[in-house]
Amino acid sequence: MTRRDLLGSLESNHPRLFLTSQRMKVMQAGSCDRNLAALKTSLLGQSDRLLGLEATEFRITGPRMLENCQRVLRRVATLALAFQISGSAKYLDRAKTELFTAADFPHWNPEHFLDTAELCTALAIGYDWLHDSISTSDRNRIREALLTKGLLPGLELQQKPAWWVAVRHNWNIVCNGGLAIGALALAPEEPELAAKILDTSLAKMPLALDAFGPDGAWDAGPHYWEYTAWYSALTSDALSTALGTDAGLSDRGGFHLAGLFPLHSRGSSGQYFNFADAEETVSARPVLFWLGKRFNLPSCIAENHRHLQLPRAAHPFDLVWYESLAEKVPALPTAVHFRGTEVVFMRSAWTDSDASFLAFKAGSGQSDHAHLDLGSFVFDVAGIRWAVDLGPDGYDLPGYWDSREEGGRWTYYRLNNRSHNTLVLNGRVQNWRAATVISRKNLYGPRYFAIADLTSAYAADAESVHRGAALLDDSGILIQDEIVWRPDRTDRALCWQLMTPAEIRLDGDKAVLSHCGRSLEARILSPQGARFSVAQAHRAPPQNPNMGYQQLALAHCESGTATCVAVTLSTRPSPLEVRPLSVW
CATH assignment at residue 98:
1.50.10.100
CA angle 492, 495, 497 (to 5 degrees): 160
Q: Is the residue at 78 inside a domain?
A: yes
List the one residue out of 138, 107, 108 whose CA is nearest residue 121. Answer: 108
Residues 290 and 364 in one domain: no
Starting at the edge strand found earlier in the chain, the sheet holding 363-364 runs: 363-364, 435-442, 448-453, 462-471, 476-485, 562-570, 518-526, 510-515, 503-507
Cα–Cα distances (Å) from 313 to 126, 279, 319, in that order, read: 20, 20, 12
Within-domain flag for 12: no
Q: Is residue 130 part of a domain?
A: yes
Q: Per the domain annotation, does 153 fall within a domain?
A: yes
Q: CA-CA distance, 365 to 422, in Å (whole number)? A: 14
Co-location of 399 and 534 in the same domain: yes
CA distance 162 to 152: 14
* Closest alpha carbon to 319 in 19, 27, 17, 22: 27
The verdict on residue 373 lying in a domain is yes
Compute the distance between CA of residue 110 and CA of residue 514 in angstroms, rounded to an integer. Answer: 49
End position of a domain, from candidates 266, 294, 320:
320
pLDDT at position 1, please? 47
CA 382 – CA 369 distance, rounded (Å): 31
3-state secondary structure of 568: strand
| Residue range of the domain that includes 142 | 28-320
Q: Are 476 and 573 in contact (CB under 8 A)?
A: yes
**Domains contained in the chain, number:** 2
Residues 168 and 100 in one domain: yes
Question: Which of 320, 348, 373 is the endpoint of a domain?
Answer: 320
**Whether residues 355 and 429 fall in one domain:** yes
Residue 450 region, left (φ>0) first, then alpha (ψ -120 to 50), else beta?
beta
pTM for the full predicted model:
0.96
Q: Determine, yes or no, domain membership for 176.
A: yes
Domain co-membership, 314 together with 436: no
Are residues 142 and 290 part of one domain? Answer: yes
* CA dihedral angle for residue 155, residue 161, residue 167, residue 169, rounded to 10 degrees: -30
Q: Do 423 and 457 fall within a single domain?
A: yes
What is the biggest distance separating any 2 CA atoms in the chain, rounded to whole angstroms? 82
Q: Is 364 helix (H, G, I), strand (E, B) or coil?
A: strand
Whether 512 maps to a domain, the answer reads yes
**Domain end (from 270, 287, 320):** 320
Concatenate the DSSP letters of all residues of 277-329 into one string.
S--S-----THHHHHHHHTT-HHHHHHHHHHHTSSSPPPHHHHHT--PPPS--
CA–CA separation, 407 and 497 (whole Å): 24
Give the type of residue at 455: T
| Rounded Cα distance, 366 and 219, in Å | 10
Question: Do 429 and 282 share a domain, yes or no?
Answer: no
Residue 170 near residue 227 (C-beta atoms within 8 A) = yes
Q: In 3D, which of 337, 367, 526, 366 has the Cα closest to residue 439?
A: 337
Do 202 and 290 sit in the same domain of this protein? yes
CA angle 567, 568, 573 (to 5 degrees): 145
Asked if 515 and 384 touch (Cβ cutoff 8 Å), the reply is yes
Residue 3's pLDDT is what?
58
Query: From CA 292, how far away is CA 298, in angstroms rounded?
Result: 6
Do 372 and 258 share a structural domain? no
The answer to whether residues 504 and 534 touch, using CB atoms and an 8 Å cutoff, is yes
| Position 249 in a domain | yes
CATH code of the domain in which 427 resides: 2.70.98.70
For residue 39, the tally of other CB atoms under 10 A from its CB is 20
Statement to judge: residues 306 and 368 lie in one domain:
no
Q: If you ran DSSP here, which 8-state letter would residue 150 be given? A: I
Low-confidence ranges of the chain (pLDDT < 70): 1-4, 30-31
Amino acid (one-letter) located at 264 = H
Q: For residues 267 and 354, state if they share a domain.
A: no
Rg of the chain in Å (alpha carbons): 26
Let me know how long the chain is.
Answer: 584
In eight-state DSSP terms, residue 384 is: E
